[in-house]
């Protein structure tokens, strides 16, 4: 959102317009691809977790479209981040890594792998 005039009143919603790349206060809104947010595309293949259900450790497998560093995060069923691991030097193509989750209590968990401009999600049950 942009202020429609430099001297516009900030608290008056009528003084705000939708902004865009190259836009400025007072210009008419134009469609654009993004406004300060990088486009995130899903990884080409979904994330796989095995074995699932998990006892103490699992393997996560996912596909990367380019060489990159990534981050794997594990969230519990209430959305709390319970584990975070940095994945260095992911190669283009299939990648797999092993993780211990012996310290986690039983329950449903969600995995988020994020890289340079892509992401993949998965879930597993810890028994």
Q: What is the pLDDT of residues 48-105, one digit of tens each?
A: 999 999 999 999 998 888 888 999 999 999 999 999 999 998 888 888 999 999 999 9
Q: Provide mean pLDDT across the span 98-124.
A: 92
What CATH number does the domain located at 41-126 have?
2.60.40.2550
Q: Select from 89, 97, 78, 77 the least CA-distant residue to 115.
A: 89
Question: At 13, is the secondary structure helix, strand, or coil?
Answer: helix
> Mean pLDDT in the chain?
77
Q: Domain residues of the chain, as ranges?
A: 1-36, 41-126
> Which pLDDT value is given to residue 36?
44
The answer to whether the beta carbons of residues 82 and 99 sit under 8 Å apart is no
């Amino acid at each position: 959102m942009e202020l429609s005039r430099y001297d516009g009143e900030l608290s008056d919603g009528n003084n705000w317009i939708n902004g865009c790349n190259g836009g400025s206060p007072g210009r008419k809104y134009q469609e654009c691809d993004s406004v300060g947010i990088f486009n995130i595309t899903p990884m080409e293949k979904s994330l796989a977790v095995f074995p699932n259900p998990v006892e103490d450790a699992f393997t996560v497998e996912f596909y990367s479209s380019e060489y990159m560093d990534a981050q794997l995060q594990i969230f519990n069923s209430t959305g709390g981040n319970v584990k975070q691991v940095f994945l260095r030097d992911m190669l283009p193509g299939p990648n797999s890594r092993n993780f211990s989750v012996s310290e986690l209590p039983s329950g449903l968990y969600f995995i988020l792998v994020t890289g340079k401009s892509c992401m993949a999600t998965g879930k597993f049950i810890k028994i």
